[in-house]
Structure 1
Amino acid sequence: MKYFKKKVRIGLVGYQWAGTMHSRAYRELASYEDAAMGPVMQTLVGRNEEHAKLAAVRLGWMSYETNWRRLLIRDDIDIIDIASPTASHAEIAIAALEAGKHVISAHPLALHSADAARMLAAARKSQCIHMAANHLLYVPAIRVMKQWVEERTIGELRSLQIHYSDDSLLGQAVGIGRYLAGEFGRVTAAALSEYGKEGSWQAGVSEERARAADTASNRLTASAAEQQPQAFLASLEGGVAGIFCYAPYSCGGRRGIRIELGGTQGMIRWSMDNMNQLKLYAPEQSHGKRGSRSIRCTAEEHPQASYCWPLGQTIGTEHTFYSMIGAFLQSILTGKELTPSFEDGYRNLLVREAVYTSAAEDRPVDILYSK
């Protein structure tokens, strides 16, 4: 039997994709030899008793409940992990924090910034550890990008470009942007209808064909698509210019994200298609040999390497969850705040709402963060 310095007992609310990935992370972390804190998968919660019971067995939980409120009065629960639909996050998180439980909530933090603000207020009052889960911030290559920005590897950061091929990724793209380049000051968005005036939304694809393809794939309806902000400009800290683009008809590119950072002395690129690798251009090479080079971010000196396979092995999406959950548990052990917290989740929602307001009202929107 393995003994940890400290054990922490978890109650998971929800068992779909986020709940499944969080469960895998807890199981994996429980097997780490050097783990300072051991997660105990105490209870899974689901509204349907039959489904909850089956999910608990399938995912490795010791027991199940059908009402999340029962977790709040149990002494054998230290953490509430919220992986339920977004509309339920605020109510569960606030009640859990008031009951003295640490809370990790799936992305996005809430439906609206007003709900997120209430969650943040409850977190500050409780002094419990809180996390707004965005596993992409725990991709080792993105952590390396952040490190290089801070070290001025490419000089002064001047531009940030993020292209994402699924509208649900807007919030995560904003979170990555804030992580890499700082706070947003103003956004100016354009809606899809602005691009459709010439009758071609994508090279070689007619408007009618694009609408039909969209409906057939059960994504946005044509009327809803016209209201989606497809691109927006942002001004960030230190005069950094941000460009965010969403390609709704990027066939085969679903869940894709591409990032490019431009500095006064170089450039860094990353793509979800090759999540372990960065492209770095730094002009220190002699004339005639200048060009970008590829760097594989799986070495022991790279951030989050301890949560992944041995040096040189492929890191996948599941490892980002191991790393994220591991950081959350470590924060509980040390009592230190971590990123992304509920405050990050709240600020991301403010930016997202500003983007939609800008697209709907056809005007720039300033982002005001309340204390």
Structure 2
Amino acid sequence: MSDRTSLNIGLIGTGFMGQAHALGYATAEKVFDLPYGLTLRTVADVTEEAAAKAAKRFGFDSWTTDWRDLLNDPEIDVIDITAPNALHKEMALAAIAAGKHVFCEKPLAPLSADAREMAKAAKAAGVVTQVGFNYLCNPMMGLAKQMIEAGELGEIRSYRGIHAEDYMADASAPHSFRTDPAGGGVLADLGSHALATAEYLLGPITRVMGDCVTAIDSRPDRNGTPAPVLVDDVSRAFLRFENGATGSIEANWIATGRKMQHDFEVHGSKGALILSQERLNELHFYSTDDAPGRRGFRKIEAGPEHDPYGLFCVAPGHQIGFNDLKAIEIAGYIGAIAGQQPEPFGFDAGTRIQHLVETILVSSADGGWKAV
């Protein structure tokens, strides 16, 4: 691939995340000085209508209803998987066997054993991988990590994280890939983000104690007949970190009124940080260095000083958005394919998150602490 000036992308799936990825490639090529040009070669979906519409809308050269066509095209360099969770393993392993680089949305696989198999296969084949955790690409998230590592918060003592939305709050909403046990449940779907953020900021989690709850115990199947729900709707876990801090996370997809609450609080001996994805361009900082009577959380607004915000907008406080985070993630991945940097969040990292998810689920079933 060293003689290529452009990478050809094959995208599987045209739903919410498929659209985000397609827009991310288009934006990344325009915003960043990438080592390769990016060509949207072929998009695949299960229906002709969805595939053809996506190809026309996002500028793919062609479309197909069979994702295997992407593997058989020698011109395609990257297979990007945004299909339902239960299909990730089959698609990724087939792409790896075909010698393609693979970008897969989270969760990497419903079982950590499957994720490990995928990571092992990718390493053996020498392909570059990425798992979709674009919230970690927020410049304000990076600033928080820098401040923590620089000791601006002092000794880190406690952590709280939550990822809550309400897209499954309606009990009449039918079964989907999300409620299929082969697809995961809320801890895999949203909790994976909360866990990835916790470890990104504070380092390894060493012990967990989970409480995973199915609040809506049945949903209509494709025939409208009530069928049992066998996955979690709300999951919480207490955490112990290697650095001595303690904390908790919550994953909740029935949080009525919440559309995108991916928040964290970090509390240290000298200060604290708060960030909410609902206001992703703001990081709030409390410092005990402030004089008594003058203390309080102060807002740090995203601006050109917080790389790579300045590549998107030269003016502070004008904000970047969700799709921009996906473009940042893609730019890092393309840099890894070119050998300019390690994989930003490859299959090994995705396996780690799935192992945490699985350990919390086991802990909830057993009712006690588990070592990670």
Please indicate, yes or no, whether the TM-score normalized by the shorter chain is above 0.5.
yes
Task: Quote how far apart the aligned CAs of 1:290 are.
Answer: 2.2
Match of 1:333 in 2: 338
AA in 1 matched with 2:206? G
Inter-partner Cα distance in structure 2 for 1:142 and 1:251: 26
Structure-2 change in CA distance of 1:164 and 1:47 (3 Å): closer
Which string of whole-angstrom CA distances, capped at 9 and with x for unpartnered residues, describes residues 192-215 of structure 1? 48xxxxxxxxxxxxxxxx979x98
Q: How does 1:1-371 map to 2 (within 5 A)?
A: 6-32=5-31, 34-166=33-165, 167=186, 168-192=189-213, 224=229, 228=233, 230-246=235-251, 250-297=255-302, 299-312=303-316, 313-367=318-372
Structure-2 change in CA distance of 1:303 and 1:224 (3 Å): farther
Task: Quote how far apart the aligned CAs of 1:330 are.
Answer: 1.5
AA in 2 matched with 1:173? A
Structure-2 change in CA distance of 1:172 and 1:103 (3 Å): same
AA in 2 matched with 1:255? M
* Alignment root-mean-square deviation, CA: 2.6
AA in 2 matched with 1:291? G
Which string of whole-angstrom CA distances, capped at 9 and with x for unpartnered residues, describes residues 219-248 of structure 1? xx9975995553210111211212113456
Task: Quote how far apart the aligned CAs of 1:75 are.
Answer: 2.3
Match of 1:206 in 2: none
Which of the two has greater helix per residue? 1
Question: Which piece of structure 1 moves more, 305-314 or 118-127?
Answer: 305-314
Question: Which piece of structure 1 moves more, 240-249 or 258-267?
Answer: 240-249
Aligned to 1:30, what secondary structure does the other structure show? helix
Q: Is the 2:158–2:245 Cα contact (8 Å) retained in structure 1?
A: yes
Structure-2 change in CA distance of 1:223 and 1:149 (3 Å): farther
Task: Quote how far apart the aligned CAs of 1:291 are.
Answer: 2.1
Q: Is the 2:216–2:233 Cα contact (8 Å) retained in structure 1?
A: no
Inter-partner Cα distance in structure 2 for 1:66 and 1:191: 37
AA in 1 matched with 2:129? H
Structure-2 change in CA distance of 1:226 and 1:45 (3 Å): closer
Aligned residues: percent identity? 28
AA in 2 matched with 1:10? I
Count of residues in correspondence between the two structures: 341
Inter-partner Cα distance in structure 2 for 1:355 and 1:222: 25
Match of 1:205 in 2: none
Which string of whole-angstrom CA distances, capped at 9 and with x for unpartnered residues, describes residues 238-280 of structure 1? 1121211345653211331220011121100011221100110
Question: Which piece of structure 1 moves more, 226-235 or 114-123?
Answer: 226-235
Q: Is the 2:304–2:313 Cα contact (8 Å) retained in structure 1?
A: no
Aligned to 2:263, what secondary structure does the other structure show? strand
Which string of whole-angstrom CA distances, capped at 9 and with x for unpartnered residues, describes residues 115-151 of structure 1? 1011100111122211011111111111111111211
Structure-2 change in CA distance of 1:300 and 1:104 (3 Å): same
Q: Is the 2:85–2:110 Cα contact (8 Å) retained in structure 1?
A: yes
AA in 2 matched with 1:150? E
Q: Is the 2:158–2:267 Cα contact (8 Å) retained in structure 1?
A: yes
Inter-partner Cα distance in structure 2 for 1:51 and 1:177: 36
Task: Quote how far apart the aligned CAs of 1:185 are.
Answer: 1.0
Consecutive unaligned residues in structure 1, runs of 5 or more: 194-209
Q: Is the 2:304–2:311 Cα contact (8 Å) retained in structure 1?
A: no
Inter-partner Cα distance in structure 2 for 1:326 and 1:113: 27
Match of 1:196 in 2: none
AA in 2 matched with 1:137? L
Inter-partner Cα distance in structure 1 for 2:127 and 2:53: 31
Structure-2 change in CA distance of 1:102 and 1:77 (3 Å): same
Q: Is the 1:162–1:244 Cα contact (8 Å) retained in structure 2?
A: yes
Task: Quote how far apart the aligned CAs of 1:87 are.
Answer: 1.1
Task: Quote how far apart the aligned CAs of 1:326 are.
Answer: 1.1
Inter-partner Cα distance in structure 2 for 1:262 and 1:172: 20
AA in 2 matched with 1:315? I
AA in 1 matched with 2:106? H
Task: Quote how far apart the aligned CAs of 1:360 are.
Answer: 1.7
Consecutive unaligned residues in structure 2, runs of 5 or more: 166-185, 221-225
